[in-house]
Amino acid sequence: MTKSKKRSIKVMTVFGTRPEAIKMAPVVIELAKFPDDIVPVVAVTAQHREMLDQVLHLFDIRPDYDLDIMAAGQTLFDITIKAMRGLDGVLTAEHPDLVLVHGDTTTTFAGALAAYYHQTAVGHVEAGLRTHNKYSPFPEEMNRHLTGAIADLHFAPTDTSEKNLLAENVPTDHIYVTGNTVIDALHHTVNEEFSFDPALSKINFHHHRIVLVTTHRRENLGEPMRHVYKALKRLIDELSDIEVVFPVHKNPKVREVVEQELGGVERVHLIDPLDYEPFANLMHRSTLILTDSGGVQEEAPALGKPVLVLRDTTERPEAVAAGTVKLIGTDMDRVYGEAYRLLTDSKEYSRMAESCNPYGDGHAARRIVQAIRYHYGLTEEKPDRFTMTK
């Protein structure tokens, strides 16, 4: 790869949701460690407002630009149009050498497309994840495909994501296998001495096992979610030593079904969505996690927690192959049966909990920034390649 001979480069990070902020924060922090080489610029769309601000505060990140696009009832069209228009102005003002986007949100795709329209290079953090089903998850699968088609540098978290990119004819010297920055963020956040706020004060962490649940996927809205919640009620009825902690997504379509099925059920704690720091520490204190979230599939293996994924497909197959994550869908009997087995079969539980961590070692951000510096001729040393730890 031909590397330019610049004395310094301007790198703009663009993100807009809480998951993006969590995973980009270690990169933002790492970029600031090289003031002689890199001029960092942070632009947030605030596709999520409150949840984004929580992470910015936790990692002490002060954006240079805040587009503040979030509005009640916003659609994918609204997010895309507002993000594109706002980023057009930012790119015109800053003229960065490289725009870094993360993952698969609408902000990700809008950021990549806006940079392309300005003929600015794009780096894609967490590149190469695929389900090969354009509507599962929706719209994330196409967001990452389209971003990958635009990107110049691809920071693949795992060997599997690298293989996906190579299959799409991305040049091998444009790909760096770095591990996932979410593990960097976890190392920064999880603390054995962490104290929870009053929202979690009624949970008996000392005498009960905690089952942590999150659901939010569009494809699971309605009856699929209802089936999951009915399975949770069966578990509570049959296992007296468990408590379910459920940070309920703010989507009214989620909340309505949750309240109908789990409202007032003993030992089920329906709470508002948590900030990242208490949520990471709650994962650390939990016994079992049921989720349709992508990020949790990466975080929980690093904490030694079995995960039952309430989806039929996943763009994160590494943990499935490693054995710490299992795809179970939303069928009521299967959700109940798989969870019951893990909570009553110690050998099966240990097999999942003690599986290897396929996603990172806490040094992904360092590899990403070193790859950028190498690409632009600011260092002659290529980053080491992340390999799965045992």
| Catalytic residue from among 140, 184, 261, 299 | 140
Q: Give the active site residue among 104, 184, 261, 292.
A: 104
Token couple for 165:
């990119």
Decide if 104 is catalytic: yes
Distance in angstroms (rounded) separating the CA atoms of residues 69 and 32: 26
Q: Measure CA 203 to chain center.
A: 26
* DSSP code per residue over 203-250: --TTTSEEEEEE---GGGTTHHHHHHHHHHHHHHHH-TTEEEEEE--S
Query: β-strand 121-125 against 98-102: which pairing, if any?
Result: parallel
Catalytic residue among 102, 216, 284, 373: 216
Starting at the edge strand found earlier in the chain, the sheet holding 288-291 runs 268-271, 242-247, 209-214, 288-291, 307-309, 325-327
**Which helix (H) or strand (E) segment is 294 a member of?**
helix 294-303
Choose, from 126, 261, 299, 315, the residue flagged as catalytic. Answer: 126
Within 13 Å and on the Cβ side, how many CA atoms surround 368? 37
Q: Let me know if 272 is a catalytic residue.
A: no
Q: Which of 188, 218, 255, 269 is catalytic?
A: 218
330: its two tokens: 């939303």
Cα 49 to Cα 107: distance, rounded to the nearest angstrom: 13
Burial of 199 (C-beta count, 10 Å sphere; 0-12/13-18/19+): middle
Using a 10 angstrom Cβ sphere, with 0-12 exposed, 13-18 middle and 19 or more buried, the burial of residue 46 is: buried
Q: Is 37 within 8 Å of 378 (Cβ atoms)?
A: yes
Any residues with CB less than 8 A from the CB of 280 and at least 6 apart, and which? 185, 186, 189, 190, 299
Residue 69 contacts residue 46 (beta carbons within 8 Å):
yes
Measured CA to CA, the distance from residue 213 to residue 125 in angstroms comes to 27
Phi, psi of 269 (to 5 degrees): -105, 105
> Which of 102, 124, 227, 249 is the catalytic position?
249
Is residue 216 flagged as an active site residue?
Answer: yes
Q: Which residue's structure tokens are 């190498």? A: 374
Catalytic annotation present for 315: no
Collapsed DSSP state (helix, strand, coil) of residue 278: helix
If DSSP codes are grouped into helix, strand and coil, which group holds residue 276? helix
* Catalytic site positions: 104, 126, 140, 216, 218, 249
